[in-house]
Amino acid sequence: MKIDSLKLQNFRNYEELSLEFSPGTNLFYGENAQGKTNILEAVYVCGTTKSHRTSKDREMIRFGENESHLQMIMRKGDVSWRIDLLLRAGRAKGIAVNMVPVRRAAELIGLGHFILFSPEDLSIIKDGPAGRRRFLDMELCQLDKVYVSALTSYNKVLEQRGKLLKTLSTDRRDMETLDVWDEQLVRYGSMIIRIRESFVQMLNEIIRPIHEKLSGGREHLSVRYEKNVEADAYASALEDGRQRDLYLCSTMTGPHRDDLVFSSDGVDLRHYGSQGQQRSAALSLKLAEIELVKKKAGDSPVLLLDDVLSELDAGRQQALLESIGDIQTFITCTGIEEYVRSGFHIDKRFHVQGGHVQPEPSNIPDPVL
Ligand SMILES: Nc1ncnc2c1ncn2[C@@H]1O[C@H](COP(=O)(O)OP(=O)(O)OP(=O)(O)O)[C@@H](O)[C@H]1O
């Protein structure tokens, strides 16, 4: 799948923007705070309906405006799709595919796959479990419609249960309602756990050879799904923990407390990995994500590299660039010198300055030796 074009109106610092992309590598360069990441964000939002930076649509609407419109044309072979998104402050997103309004974001799933890699992703191993759960959710929401609806329902029930627990701490009359929420929590939670189980199993098989190659055969990386509770045991665990939940006014059991464990030769990298090992594992995870999408969706993802190359040393940069192949890629950076130095092929480049984007003639010239 490739993206042909993007149009923005009142999105972040863009009043009006219309861009046509190369199906190969597109590079956006410019000083800090000019609007490079905003373009990647817009592509990601059009493809997934979610931003990687905010859960509030309001923040993406240009300051002083009430709504924002995004339009993206995607193509798979001869078939193309036009995606329209309307962001409105305090209201649900308006989404249309080929000019036909769709009610649920899930209907976009499967059209395309978007893998975003930013410097924050490099600390996914050492940061808290929330980031690793977010990784699971963002990836699975693009791959599996059942997962999206289970996750949406689970989060709603979890919130309702939390509110009820608070009420029950002072007034126990509504105790039967808790049984209803628990039953639903177990239904959706078990679905999430099972889907995560098979996803991590697949991820583990893919990441191992990738990481071996990246570490020159020195390290053997494995990913394990650290479940808070087994799907089959969820109902009884929830019941056993009910008094504690009532006391804490919070649900302590369920996949919202899951984690992923990354180990290298048996050592848990979350706690004992060196910074270099943690960053390598994070890069392997991204490279594995690319492979996984190709395998599971039978299609190439779109790769969005947000200022990440300058964070990697030469060996890791090489590994990332080699894995790009024929994947359509969007890269942001502040300077183009490193691309000139590495001789990396760029199909189309854009200069970004203060909310204006200037396409420039194709490839960066070869370095003068
Ligand atoms: N809702 C908004 N309305 C208008 N401008 C906004 C909005 N949100 C962010 N901006 C502006 O967008 C700019 C940041 O853009 P972006 O994050 O794309 O920067 P960047 O070019 O990627 O910079 P860096 O290289 O530092 O990451 C800032 O000037 C910020 O004020």
Is 358 labelled as part of a ligand binding site? no
pLDDT score of 367 more than 70: no
Which residue, judged by its Cα, is nearest atom 5 of ligand 1? 13
Q: Using the 8-state DSSP alphabet, how is residue 230 labeled?
A: -
* Ligand 1: centre distance to CA 278 (Å): 29
Count of all residues that appear for the chain in the document: 369
> Which pLDDT does position 365 carry in this prediction?
55
CATH class of 1-113+300-369: alpha beta
Q: What is the per-residue pLDDT for 12? A: 98
Please write the tens of the pLDDT for every residue from 7-60. Answer: 999 999 999 999 999 999 999 999 999 999 999 999 999 999 989 899 899 999
- Separation CA 211–CA 262 (nearest Å): 12
Boundaries of every domain in the chain: 1-113+300-369, 125-298
Q: Where is pLDDT greater, at 129 or 313?
A: 129
Higher pLDDT, 77 or 204: 204
Residue 90 annotated as lining a ligand binding site: no
322 vs 82, higher pLDDT = 82
Is 63 close to ligand 1, i.e. is its CB under 6 Å away?
A: yes
Distance (Å) from CA 305 to ligand 1 centroid = 16
> What pLDDT does 45 receive?
95
Percent of the chain with pLDDT over 90: 71
Please tell me which residue, 284 or 108, carries the higher pLDDT value: 284
Statement: the pTM of the whole predicted model exceeds 0.80:
yes
pLDDT tens-digit series, residues 219-248: 999 999 999 999 999 999 999 999 999 999
Q: What letter would DSSP give residue 174? A: G
Beta-bridged to residue 264, according to DSSP, are 221, 267
Q: What pLDDT, on a 0 to 100 scale, did the predictor assign at position 32?
A: 94
pLDDT of 368 higher than 80: no
First to last CA, the chain: 37
* Interface confidence: ipTM more than 0.95: yes
What's the mean per-residue pLDDT of the chain?
A: 92
Could you confirm whether domain 125-298 is CATH 1.20.1050.90?
yes
The finding on whether 12 has its CB within 6 A of some atom of ligand 1 is yes
pLDDT digits (tens, 9 = 90+) for 46-57: 999 989 899 899
Verify whether ligand 1 is closer than 6 Å to residue 52 (CB atom).
no
For 128, other C-beta atoms within 10 Å of its C-beta total: 10
| Mean local confidence (pLDDT), 148-167 | 96
**Is 36 assigned a ligand-binding role in the annotation?**
yes
335 is in an annotated binding site: no
- Is residue 369's pLDDT more than 70? no
- Whether the CB-CB separation of 3 and 43 falls below 8 Å is answered with yes
pLDDT in tens, 245-293: 999 999 999 999 999 999 999 999 999 999 889 989 999 999 999 999 9
DSSP, collapsed to helix, strand or coil, labels residue 172 as helix
